[in-house]
């Protein structure tokens, strides 16, 4: 009699990162699969990266590598500023950037504006470590379109962090100069903004567009980069717009429990390889 091999679970999640590139992860468990008013949310447990959250087919966070991105997004602008007190996070409904901002004792208030309350709830339900900052009394969470919110707030924030989904549909405006003008006006006199600006290998034109649009508005614009394994190509960029201070040097110390960000990483992340300088036409 023929003996069949023991059945193993062999289910995979695949993110189509470009027409010619995919990332596949073997799944242990499907935890949440729903469609909200704004997007599809999928939470699955993977063998390689632990639990992951996927919005409209694109990986947003994984338990294993989220710190790389969240620490850079929060600590680069906060440590570059001489005395930041109020932070605005646009998007970022998973709470990872919020958690990092609140590691600084001098941050008095952090407001997170994500259009989709169900992303916030999914993070609370499945990613307690990532969403832990949501319970901090200094945190306020609002569910509305950040494009509307930012227009109604002038000279209120020291730091604005744009932690958005890819620039399509309701997130498209977050990569354009009218929005950066609103961010500029929402910032106080020494204000600094940072936005995730994609991979120079996967989305070179988007990165260049965001950088050039920010240059139309901010007197100082600077690009930095870091590792982010599960985002397309693993090479991620962040663009910083500043009203007065140069963002390359940290003025505040790194929180003690960082796993990616250090003061040396801060300065060194602004050192660009020549192909990146050429892309944003620095040289």
Note the residues at the interface with ligand SAM (CB under 6 A): 38, 55, 60, 69, 90-94, 113-116, 119, 145-147, 163-165, 170-171, 174, 196
**In this complex, which beta carbon is closest to ligand SAM, that of residue 40 or of residue 277?**
40
User: Could you give the CA distance from residue 94 to residue 263 in angstroms, rounded to a whole number?
Assistant: 25
Q: Smallest distance, Å, CB 99 to ligand SAM?
A: 13
Q: Smallest distance, Å, CB 166 to ligand SAM?
A: 7
User: Could you give the CA distance from residue 66 to residue 84 in angstroms, rounded to a whole number?
Assistant: 24
**In this complex, which beta carbon is closest to ligand SAM, that of residue 202 or of residue 220?**
202
- Indicate if the alpha-carbon torsion angle 250, 95, 135, 158 is positive or negative: positive
**In this complex, which beta carbon is closest to ligand SAM, that of residue 59 or of residue 221?**
59
3-state class (DSSP) for residue 190? strand
Strand partners, 196: 238
CA distances for 16 relative to 167, 214, 257, angstroms:
16, 28, 34
Q: Smallest distance, Å, CB 91 to ligand SAM?
A: 3
**In this complex, which beta carbon is closest to ligand SAM, that of residue 170 or of residue 185?**
170
First to last CA, the chain: 72
Q: Give me the catalytic one of 158, 163, 166, 169.
A: 163
Burial class from Cβ neighbours inside 10 Å (0-12, 13-18, 19+) for residue 62 reads: buried
User: Could you give the CA distance from residue 85 to residue 9 in angstroms, rounded to a whole number?
Assistant: 49
Q: Is 169 an active-site residue?
A: no
Q: Smallest distance, Å, CB 196 to ligand SAM?
A: 5
Catalytic site positions: 163
């Amino acid at each position: 009699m023929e003996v069949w091999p023991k059945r193993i679970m062999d289910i995979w999640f695949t993110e189509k990162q470009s027409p010619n590139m995919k990332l596949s992860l073997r799944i242990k468990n499907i935890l949440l699969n729903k469609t909200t008013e704004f997007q599809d949310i999928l939470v699955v447990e993977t063998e390689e990266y632990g639990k992951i959250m996927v919005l409209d087919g694109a990986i947003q966070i994984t338990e294993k590598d989220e710190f790389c991105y969240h620490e850079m997004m929060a600590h680069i602008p906060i440590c570059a500023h001489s005395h930041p007190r109020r932070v605005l996070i646009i998007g970022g409904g998973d709470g990872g950037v919020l958690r990092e901002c609140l590691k600084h004792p001098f941050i008095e208030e952090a407001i997170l504006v994500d259009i989709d309350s169900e992303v916030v709830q999914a993070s609370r339900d499945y990613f307690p470590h990532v969403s832990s900052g949501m319970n901090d009394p200094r945190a306020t969470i609002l569910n509305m379109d950040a494009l509307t919110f930012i227009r109604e707030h002038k000279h209120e924030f020291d730091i604005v962090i744009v932690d958005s989904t890819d620039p399509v549909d309701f997130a498209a405006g977050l990569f354009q100069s009218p929005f950066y003008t609103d961010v500029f006006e929402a910032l106080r006199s020494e204000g600094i903004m940072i936005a995730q600006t994609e991979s120079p290998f996967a989305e070179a034109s988007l990165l260049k567009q965001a950088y050039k649009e920010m240059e139309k508005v901010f007197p100082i614009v600077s690009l930095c980069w870091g590792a982010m394994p599960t985002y397309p190509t693993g090479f991620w960029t962040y663009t910083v717009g500043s009203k007065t201070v140069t963002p390359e040097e940290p003025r505040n110390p790194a929180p003690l429990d960082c796993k990616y960000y250090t003061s040396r990483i801060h300065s060194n992340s602004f050192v660009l390889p020549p192909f990146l300088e050429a892309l944003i036409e620095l040289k």
